[in-house]
Amino acid sequence: MSDKSFEQCSSEKLAIFKSTLFSGDKMLNITGGLGVDDWAFSDKFTSILSLDCDEEIHLLAEYNLQLMRIHNVTRVCIRAETFLRKANSFDFIYADPDRRSGSTKDFRPENSLPNVIQLEEQLLASAPKVLIKFSPLADISHLSKIFRHLAKIWVVSADNEVKEILALLERGSSGLKEVRAVIVTNEKSYTYSAFQPLDINIEHLSENLFFEPALSLIKADIGEEWYQKIGLTKVGMNSAFYFGKTHWPEFPGRAFEVVCQSAYKPRLLKLYLAKLGIDKANITKRDFPWSVAQIREIFKLKEGGEDYLFFFKDNKKELTFVHGKKSKVRRSLF
């Protein structure tokens, strides 16, 4: 069995989130894979027909479904393109096309297998709603151009990493109507939309906080108006970090108490870290010329601990660093 089957299959909590979006009678999964999504959707649909053209993966998934006593999923070893040539009717279709060309990862939808762009009309002829999972690197504006019937997008993150982009095609839709950002945790999921009214309860503080929005909100371009409303100041044009003296319990991301903010001077920063005895830290960088690995090497820092170091360009495009500690007045979503 190829490694890509394991790499691309949905994690349990992401599959469960997807299954909360749709329910009905008959579902078709044209990329059954190892069966994680079949398992998650099996509680939401009366019957599921799941396809996969890899016989080894198909047999393994069929065996696992039997072990889990899931009896409403029927697996068929067939190519999606072949199956869709016949007239079929379903309430909902799910697709997680192979995003790898040979052994190389490829996030472009044009190179996916099956080619869901070419199959768009056939898919919508078989079901009024089609959900397609794309790479987290997929460009949202590009998706809106290549699909005629794209209606909605979810940008899904977990552990502060964008994991997948979900695109909903709807029969009769003429253009993208909404983009949502989702933060999936072990306990629940949080969904944000630029169109939803947000009830913001804030408390003004004397100390300065440093805010890091979840990556799904940054990718979905959601939240800027909210941050301005509560008085947060963006640290740099391309950095997506914020300063503010505001306690917002529902902030979609993380907040840190600022220990130190300074221009990035490697020699002085080495002295600062040595003085505080910091030999490990959590590092995040945005719009900064060196990678996290390079920063760790420069300052000989191991990963982890209670200290958080942020590296970015400020509004004057000067290299800057912030040393923060997790805020004690609010919990983080990741």
Q: Which residues of 29-45 are buried (b: 16+ CB within 10 A; e: fewer)?
A: bbbbbbbbbbbbbbebb
pLDDT attached to residue 223: 85
Q: What is the pLDDT of residues 81-105, one digit of tens each?
A: 999 998 889 999 999 998 765 555 6
Q: Are 186 and 207 found together in one domain?
A: no
Give the burial class of 157: count Cβ atoms within 10 A of its Cβ; 0-12 exposed, 13-18 middle, 19 or more buried. buried
pLDDT attached to residue 97: 94
DSSP assignment letter at 109: G
pLDDT attached to residue 289: 96
Q: How many residues are given for the chain? A: 334
End-to-end CA gap in the chain: 33
Q: What angle do CA 138, 140, 144 make, to 5 degrees?
A: 120
The domain boundary, picked from 193, 216, 231, lies at 193
In a domain, 99, yes or no: yes
Rg, C-alpha atoms of the chain: 23
Q: What is the pLDDT of residues 191-223, one digit of tens each?
A: 998 766 656 666 665 568 899 999 999 999 988
Q: Are 229 and 185 found together in one domain?
A: no
Place of tokens 């100041």: 233
DSSP assignment letter at 113: B
Q: Are 157 and 261 found together in one domain?
A: no
Q: Are 212 and 132 found together in one domain?
A: no
In a domain, 157, yes or no: yes
Residue 237 pLDDT greater than 80, yes or no? yes
In a domain, 137, yes or no: yes
In a domain, 331, yes or no: no
Residue 51 sits in a domain of what CATH number? 3.40.50.150
Q: Are 122 and 254 found together in one domain?
A: no
The domain boundary, picked from 170, 193, 216, lies at 193
pLDDT attached to residue 70: 95
Residue 5 pLDDT greater than 70, yes or no? no
Give SS3 for 5.
helix
Q: Which of 51-65, 227-241, 289-303 has the lowest mean pLDDT?
A: 227-241
Q: Are 112 and 257 found together in one domain?
A: no
Q: Which of 24-28, 48-52, 207-211, 212-216 has the lowest mean pLDDT?
A: 207-211
Residue 153 pLDDT greater than 70, yes or no? yes
Residues 36 and 9: their CA atoms lie apart, in Å, by 7
Residues 182 and 168: their CA atoms lie apart, in Å, by 15
Q: Are 134 and 225 found together in one domain?
A: no
Q: Are 13 and 123 found together in one domain?
A: yes
Q: Which residue intervals of the chain are DSSP H helices?
A: 3-8, 12-19, 36-41, 55-67, 80-83, 120-126, 140-146, 215-220, 224-229, 266-276, 292-299
Residue 2 pLDDT greater than 50, yes or no? no
Rounded mean pLDDT of the chain?
Answer: 89
CA dihedral 271, 277, 281, 285 (to 10 degrees): -10
In a domain, 72, yes or no: yes
Residues 32 and 35: their CA atoms lie apart, in Å, by 6
Q: Are 145 and 290 found together in one domain?
A: no
In a domain, 159, yes or no: yes
In a domain, 332, yes or no: no
Q: What is the mean pLDDT of residues 234-244?
A: 90
Is 34 within 8 Å of 55 (Cβ atoms)?
A: no
Label residue 108 by pLDDT band (50, 70, 90). Answer: confident
In a domain, 277, yes or no: yes
Q: Are 56 and 136 found together in one domain?
A: yes
Range of the domain at 76: 3-193
Label residue 334 by pLDDT band (50, 70, 90). Answer: low
Share of the chain above pLDDT 90, in %: 71
Structural domain tally of the chain?
2
Q: What is the mean pLDDT of residues 275-289?
A: 96
Label residue 80 by pLDDT band (50, 70, 90). Answer: very high
Residue 31 pLDDT greater than 90, yes or no? yes
Structure token digits, residue 89: 């009717």
DSSP assignment letter at 11: P
Label residue 1 by pLDDT band (50, 70, 90). Answer: very low
Q: What is the pLDDT of residues 256-271, one digit of tens each?
A: 999 999 999 999 999 9
pLDDT attached to residue 200: 61
Residues 31 and 57: their CA atoms lie apart, in Å, by 11
Q: Are 227 and 184 found together in one domain?
A: no
Segment (H or E) for 263: strand 253-263
Within 8 A by CB and 6+ apart from 147, the residues are: 117, 120, 167, 169
Structure token digits, residue 41: 């959707």
The domain boundary, picked from 148, 167, 193, lies at 193
Q: Are 11 and 148 found together in one domain?
A: yes
